[in-house]
Amino acid sequence: MQSLDSEKGLIKFSHCKKDIFCSYVPKLCPVCGQSLNYRRLEDAPISIPSPFVNGHKQICSFLLIPTTGTFLRGYDGRSDLHVGITNTNGLVYNYNETGIHRVGLGWEQCISVPLVQPDMYGLLKQWDKYLEEFSTGEAWFPNRYDEHHHNCYTYALAFINCVLAAENKQQMSKSEFTERFVIPQTRKASKYITLYQEITENSFYIGDSPHQEKNLEEDKLSP
Ligand SMILES: [Zn+2]
């Protein structure tokens, strides 16, 4: 298996009424074997950016990684996820059975949810202090850890709610935060993982092009 550079993202183009995903544009179409010319602008190659980012470069964000391996290597879509929060220097604060950790390595391929808008200067200035003080609380001692009820997600969400309270904003439940901010990202990520795995194994992923089918219908209807 060739390994791909996930940072660069993937490429999509259309030919033979198919959407073809790959890591580089081939000289010949993998479906018809003809050299690639594009009849329509929307058939030409476009890049599909990777949904994964280097968490250490995401300030004041909520991050997700698989507990073992990385999203693009060794993640089967079912294994547990681990979450953390970054400070303004990309240090990832996270909680597990051995307590709070502040790490500058290991979160290079993450799903990231930014928590602060760039113009929220007041909050940005306080962020590191809030995060450090919050994390020293005894709620996050190792002995309080519980895999299901008091875990990395409990910690991250409690911090988010602490910030919301300081900003006089409404608290968020776990399901609300997950549905609004996490699920849209994980959905995108899981589509990308499927494409990536196919392309790693077969060089291409070939799917039906919704565009083309729609246009065919229009062609039939026009006189
Ligand atoms: Zn073709």
Task: Say if CB 178 and CB 31 are below 8 A apart.
Answer: no
Both structure tokens of 18: 């198919």
Type of residue numbered 134: F
CA of 42 to the centre of ligand 1 (A): 15
CA of 95 to the centre of ligand 1 (A): 51
CA of 28 to the centre of ligand 1 (A): 8
Beta strand 99-103 pairing with 92-96: antiparallel
Beta strand 81-86 pairing with 99-103: unpaired
Looking at residue 212, its pLDDT comes to 54
Phi, psi values for residue 68, rounded to 5°: -130, 150
CA of 10 to the centre of ligand 1 (A): 19
CA of 20 to the centre of ligand 1 (A): 9
CA of 9 to the centre of ligand 1 (A): 23
Q: What is the pLDDT along the chain (223 residues), one digit of tens a residue?
A: 445 554 578 999 999 999 999 999 999 999 999 999 888 888 999 999 999 999 999 999 999 999 988 999 878 777 789 999 999 999 999 999 999 999 999 999 999 999 998 888 999 999 999 999 999 999 999 999 999 999 999 999 999 999 999 999 999 999 999 999 999 999 999 999 999 999 999 999 999 887 655 544 444 444 3
Those residues whose beta carbon sits under 5 angstroms from the ion ligand 1 are: 15-16, 29, 31-32
Looking at residue 4, its pLDDT comes to 55
* pTM score of the predicted model: 0.85
CA of 17 to the centre of ligand 1 (A): 8
CA of 219 to the centre of ligand 1 (A): 20
Phi, psi values for residue 54, rounded to 5°: -75, 110
Distance in angstroms (rounded) separating the CA atoms of residues 15 and 29: 7
What CA–CA distances, in Å, run from 156 to 83, 188, 210? 7, 22, 39
CA of 194 to the centre of ligand 1 (A): 22
CA of 174 to the centre of ligand 1 (A): 47
Q: Report how far Cα 25 is from the mean position of its chain's Cα atoms.
A: 24
CA of 74 to the centre of ligand 1 (A): 33
Looking at residue 7, its pLDDT comes to 53
CA of 24 to the centre of ligand 1 (A): 16
